[in-house]
Amino acid sequence: MSERLQGVGVSPGVACAPAVAVRWSLPDVADRTVAADEVEGEIARLHEAVGVVSHHLEDLRMRTLQRAGEEEAGIFDAQIMMAQDRDFLDGVEALIRKNNLAAETAYDFKALELRNVWERSRVSVLRDRLADLHAIHIRMLAHLMGRSTEDAWLGTINEQVILVARELSPGITVQLDREHVAGLISEEGTRTSHAAILAHSLGIPTVMGVRGALEGIPEGAMVLLDGQTGVVLVDPTPDELEIARLQISRRHKLEMQLEGIAGEPAITPDGVRVMLQGNIDLPEEIEPALHHGAEGVGLLRTEFLVTGRTSLPSEDFQTEYFRRVGAAFSGHSVIIRTYDLGGDKFPVAFQAPHEANPFLGWRSIRVCLDQPEIFRPQLRALLRAAADRDVQLMVPMIISLDELREVHAWLAEEAEGLQAAGVRAAQTLPVGVMIETPAAVVLADELAAESAFLSVGTNDLTQYTLAVDRGNARLADRFTPLHPAVVRQLATVQAAAARAGIPVSVCGEMASDPVAAVLLLGLGYHRLSIAPPALPLVKWVVRHVPASEAATAAQAALIARDSATVRATLREVLGRHLDLRLVDPAGALPGLSVGASLPGFR
């Protein structure tokens, strides 16, 4: 009997390989003092260590630039900034001088002190950066104490393994070789942690937030993990392994079929046309979206421009990026979401306030309207890009008409300013609202009357409706956009957009789920914005399931009393036209989705 552990999937894919525990930790540091005439020498040793560590981090930055891209390399700019932080180092120097402490003793004390503060903080961005702090702490102590660093063991891996750690630093993650590392599991970390971003970019299936992983997964035990659902099976049974093999074999055959429809329109058997657009988080996702036949971009996230950076991007930089995306999808619209800052996404240099609950606090459009020096350059960049591109603006987390009207007013002011300055730019551009809260659903008719389009962000709408943190592994089974309360709100928004005569779409992860796509089609959503890897499968579903049958299932879902009934209803319709083992493998191996390769099976 296998043991099932649940975490948060942060990098999709399935891996199967023996587990190797990564138990790097801080060394024991003695409370060593020095003579008064040695104090300046200890301070010199401290700064020499900072220089060595900074140089090593710069090497890692260049390696990341080559392997993953410029955006991911920016993570190490933030680490270098942390290693060289003047206030922190002044505190270490003061401790050395005041107490005649050795450099490693003083540094260890101040780093542990800072770690304790960050661990108690409810600001997610600080908790996410604990792994960065931990890595720098170890590197500094290693140099000051003449020891090897925490990544010295990497060169000893010579076979396919799944690494299990308490937490993963970006410095470790970027050095991993897919030839030898099939997957990653960590006890700490979230989807927005730096290590998660790098693992996703490098294509390593990863699950984070697996409580007790180091103790619960024996060294050498066979592990089967799903980086999409966050499921980890320890010592999978022969039946489970065979099921996974069969599923992957079937999926590979399906992928060959899906390749043939990339350029075909998404039209149901009874003639309903559905527009399938792509969700783009990072520049490297543009090519996969094009390859899979995305009809433009329904959600271009802009947070990568600021997350983990030491400074905000310039107006010119943003303009060129928006133009580049618009040119890539020539002939189609690109919907750009304004900065969704806050919660867990702030620039490193940005002084974010401490909040008891940041996801219910100062975030998204609230930050933008309070910080015109951040928001106005982005509005100008959008207007400049829209001069020769089909660029549209989408505003997240709107809960009142006042917020939407203020955005319209600022946009008009910036357009007038650009025109007066003789800068080539559009006079205006379509502004839509991202529906993410029950408040926005209730106001859907009013918001639709003053918007060019509506788009439902089902990730946050589900989170705020159900009061379930979507990044909390303990609550993973309670987070479901097929909950009747969410389903009924989706119907409300679609009806409001229809009454206003404006387009409406879904751009949350729900649209990438083949089962949920049947519901959305049945509710009348004929625009879906999807993660690029899921585009072919959703198109396959649309081309095989009649809209009339989807509508009947949606009506049943609207009166269902629980999410299990909703899913069963949708699966029944899907199963009439497609092999459920291919489009919804949840019933084959509990919790395991096999939407990619299985590198451990050779």
In sequence order, what DSSP letters do the residues of 571-587 get, joined into one string?
A: HHHHHHHS-HHHH-GGG
Q: Do 14 and 107 share a structural domain? A: no
Asked whether the beta carbons of 528 and 293 are under 8 A apart, the reply is: no
pLDDT of residue 408: 97
H runs (alpha helix) in 421-534: 438-442, 444-449, 458-466, 484-500, 514-523
Give the Cα separation of 540 and 121 in Å (integer): 45
Q: How far is Cα 485 from Cα 493, in angstroms, rounded to an integer?
A: 13
Nearest to 536 by CA among 215, 173, 289: 289
- Percent of the chain beyond pLDDT 90? 51
Are residues 118 and 64 part of one domain? yes
- Domain edge (last residue) among 218, 236, 254: 236
Q: Do 225 and 131 fall within a single domain?
A: no
111 pLDDT exceeds 50?
yes
The answer to the question of residue 513 being in a domain is no
Mean pLDDT of 488-496: 98
pLDDT tens digits, residue range 294-353?
999 999 988 777 765 556 789 999 999 999 999 999 999 999 999 887 654 555 545 556
Distance CA 223, CA 18 (A): 6
* Same domain for 184 and 101: no
Q: Domain of 206?
A: 3-24+151-236
pLDDT band at 166 (very low <50, low <70, confident <90, very high): confident
Helices within 524-601 (DSSP H only): 535-544, 547-558, 563-577, 580-583
In this structure, what token pair is assigned to residue 478?
A: 């309670």
The pLDDT of residue 79: 81
Query: Does residue 248 register a pLDDT over 70?
Result: no
For the ranges 220-224, 282-286, 407-411, 580-584, the lowest mean pLDDT is seen at 580-584
Q: Which of 217, 236, 255 is the last residue of a domain?
A: 236
**Tens-digit pLDDT profile for residues 499-528:** 999 999 999 889 988 999 999 999 999 999
pLDDT at position 445, please? 98
Averaged pLDDT for residues 425-430: 96
Model pLDDT, residue 357: 65
For residues 131-139, average pLDDT: 83
- Which two three-digit tokens encode residue 138? 């170890």
**Mean pLDDT over residues 360-375, rounded?**
82
Question: Who wins on pLDDT, 253 or 293?
Answer: 293
Q: Using the structure block, give the residue that is written with the tokens 């439902």.
A: 456
Identity at 68, one-letter amino acid code: A
pLDDT at 15 over 70: yes
Nearest to 466 by CA among 488, 448, 444, 449: 488
The CB-side HSE value for 390 (13 A sphere, CA atoms) comes to 11
42 and 126 in a single domain? The answer is yes
Q: Which residues contact 476 (CB under 8 A, 6 or more apart)?
A: 6, 8, 230
Catalytic residue (choose from 56, 194, 200, 483): 194
> Which among 16, 137, 143, 507 is annotated as catalytic?
507
Q: Tell me the mean pLDDT in the region 255-268.
A: 86
Pick the residue with more confidence: 25 or 502? 502
Evaluate whether residue 435 is within a structural domain.
no
More confident residue, 460 or 587: 460
Per mean pLDDT, which range of 34-43, 107-116, 363-372, 414-423 is the poorest? 363-372
C-beta of residue 506 within 8 angstroms of C-beta of residue 277: no
What does the mean pLDDT of the chain come to?
85
Residues 128 and 216 in one domain: no
Q: Is residue 341 part of a domain?
A: no
Same domain, 87 and 10: no
Binned at pLDDT 50, 70 and 90, residue 386 comes out as very high
The secondary structure of residue 339, as a DSSP letter, is: P
Task: Tell me which residue of 456, 552, 474 sits closest to 510, measured CA to CA.
Answer: 456
Contact in structure between 203 and 178 (CB atoms under 8 Å): yes
| 184 & 132 share domain | no
Indicate the range of 103-107, 115-119, 196-200, 586-590 predicted with least confidence: 586-590
* Alpha carbons 333 and 76: distance in angstroms, whole number: 34
Residue 593: pLDDT band (50, 70, 90) is very low
Tell me, what CATH number does 165's domain have? Answer: 3.50.30.10
CA 344 to CA 436: how far, in whole Å?
A: 17
pLDDT of residue 598: 44
| CA geometry: angle 351, 307, 141, nearest 5 deg | 80
User: What is the distance in angstroms between the CA of the first residue and the CA of the last residue of the chain?
Assistant: 23
Residue 195 counted as domain residue: yes
Of 83, 116, 145, the domain-final residue: 145
* pLDDT confidence band for 591 (50 / 70 / 90): very low
Q: Residue 447 has which token pair?
A: 């918001």
CB within 8 Å of 251: residues ≥ 6 apart: 582, 594, 595
The answer to whether residue 99 is domain-embedded is yes
State residue 600's pLDDT score: 46
**What per-residue confidence (pLDDT) applies to 350?**
56
Residue 84 φ then ψ, to 5°: -100, 10
**Dihedral (Cα; 160, 164, 168, 173), 10-degree rounding:** 0
In a domain, 49, yes or no: yes
Is 368 assigned a catalytic role? Answer: no
User: pLDDT band at residue 168, thresholds of 50, 70 and 90?
Assistant: confident
* 440-456 burial: b if 16+ Cβ within 10 Å, else e: bbebbeebbeebbbbbb
Q: For residue 184, is it within any domain? A: yes
Does the annotation mark 507 as catalytic? yes
Residue 160 and residue 64 in one domain: no
pLDDT above 70 covers what percent of the chain?
Answer: 83
User: What's the pLDDT score for residue 342?
Assistant: 65
The residues, ordered by sequence, that sit 6+ positions from 113 with a Cβ below 8 Å of its Cβ are: none
List the single range of 195-204, 429-438, 495-504, 539-548 with lowest mean pLDDT.
195-204
Q: Are 181 and 45 contained in the same domain?
A: no
Amino acid sitting at position 107? Y
Please state the domain count of the chain.
2
What phi and psi values does residue 506 have, to the nearest 5 degrees?
Answer: -120, 130
Amino acid identity at 254: L
CATH number at residue 115: 1.10.274.10
**159 and 212 belong to one structural domain:** yes
- Interatomic CA distance for residues 496 and 117, integer angstroms: 47
Lowest-pLDDT choice from 152-161, 183-192, 267-276, 324-333 = 152-161
pTM: 0.70
pLDDT for the residue 132? 78
Residue with tokens 């392997």: 67
Q: What whole-number distance in Å separates Cα of residue 290 and Cα of residue 296?
A: 8
pLDDT tens-digit readout, 38-61: 999 999 999 999 999 998 888 878
Whole-angstrom distance, CA of residue 53 vs CA of residue 140: 7
pLDDT, tens digit (0-9, with 9 covering 90-100), for 63-86: 777 766 666 677 777 788 889 998
157 shares its domain with 175? yes
In a domain, 93, yes or no: yes
**In this predicted model, which residue has the larger pLDDT, 45 or 531?**
45
